[in-house]
C-alpha cells in the first residue's frame, strides 16, 4: 500500500490515480490529547500501510470539541485513500490503529488521542450494527466539512445529493475551524 508523500502528515497534490478495482474511502482523523500533530501523522502512516494509498490529504485544522465541549481543542484532517479492503475491513483496521495509538473508549465524544471516522466508502450507503456510511453527522460538522471541501469540494453525498461545498454552505455548526 503506501503513501504518495515522503511525510505522511503533509497534503498531497491534487492528482489522483484511478483504478477500477480500488475503492475510494474518505477518513476523518482527529486528536485532542498528547502530541496531536505527531499522532495524526502516525495514524496517516499506519493507514497508508494497512488500508491503502493516501492520494489526498487536507491540511490540519484546529477546532473546539464537539458534543462534550469541556476538553482540549481538536486537530482534524481528512484523508482520501484508495483501498482493496471492504468497508468492514477498513473499520477493523481503523479501530486497531486507534487502539495502537492509545484510544480508550470511555465517554461518547470525549477527549481522545486519536479518532478515525469513515466518512464515505465510494458512493455506498451502509447501515450495519457496526458501521454507518456515509457518516451520520458529516453534514452537521464544520470540522469535517472544511477539510473535506479542501480535497473533495465536488464529491456528492449519496443520500443528500449535495456536494461537499453545498453541505458546508448549509452547515448549522457555528464552530470555528482554524487552519494551522
Query: Annotated catalytic residue: which of 42, 112, 141, 142?
Result: 112
* Active-site entry in 36, 42, 115, 173: 115
Reply yes or no on whether 56 is catalytic.
no
Between CA 40 and CA 46, with CA 156 as vertex, the angle to 5 degrees is 20
Q: Say whether the peptide bond before residue 123 is cis (omega within 30 degrees of 0).
A: no
Q: What is the DSSP string of 22-63?
A: PEEEEEEEEE-SSSHHHHHHHHHHHHHHHTEEEEEE---EEE
Query: If you count them, how many residues does the chain have?
Result: 180
- Is 141 part of the annotated catalytic residue set? no
Catalytic, 35? Answer no
Unique residue bearing C-alpha cell 487502539: 99
Which position among 36, 42, 56, 117 bears the catalytic label?
117
Catalytic one of 103, 141, 142, 173: 103
Does 103 participate in catalysis according to the annotation? yes
Active site amino acids: 103, 112, 115, 117
Amino acid at each position: 500500500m503506501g503513501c504518495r508523500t515522503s511525510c505522511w502528515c503533509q497534503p498531497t497534490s491534487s492528482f489522483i490515480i484511478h483504478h477500477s478495482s480500488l475503492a475510494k474511502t474518505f477518513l476523518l482523523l482527529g486528536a485532542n490529547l498528547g502530541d496531536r500533530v505527531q499522532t495524526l501523522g502516525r495514524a496517516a502512516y499506519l493507514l497508508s500501510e494497512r488500508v491503502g494509498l493516501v492520494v489526498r490529504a487536507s491540511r490540519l485544522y484546529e477546532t473546539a470539541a464537539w458534543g462534550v465541549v469541556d476538553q482540549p481543542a481538536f486537530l482534524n484532517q481528512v484523508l482520501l485513500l484508495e483501498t482493496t479492503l471492504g468497508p468492514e475491513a477498513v473499520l477493523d483496521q481503523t479501530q486497531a490503529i486507534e487502539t495502537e495509538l492509545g484510544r480508550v473508549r470511555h465517554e461518547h465524544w470525549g477527549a481522545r488521542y486519536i479518532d478515525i471516522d469513515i466518512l464515505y466508502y465510494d458512493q455506498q450507503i451502509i447501515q450495519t450494527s457496526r458501521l454507518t456510511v456515509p457518516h451520520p453527522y458529516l453534514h452537521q460538522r464544520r470540522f469535517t466539512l472544511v477539510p473535506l471541501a479542501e480535497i473533495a469540494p465536488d464529491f456528492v453525498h449519496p443520500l443528500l445529493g449535495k456536494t461537499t461545498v453545498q453541505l458546508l454552505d448549509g452547515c448549522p455548526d457555528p464552530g470555528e475551524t482554524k487552519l494551522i
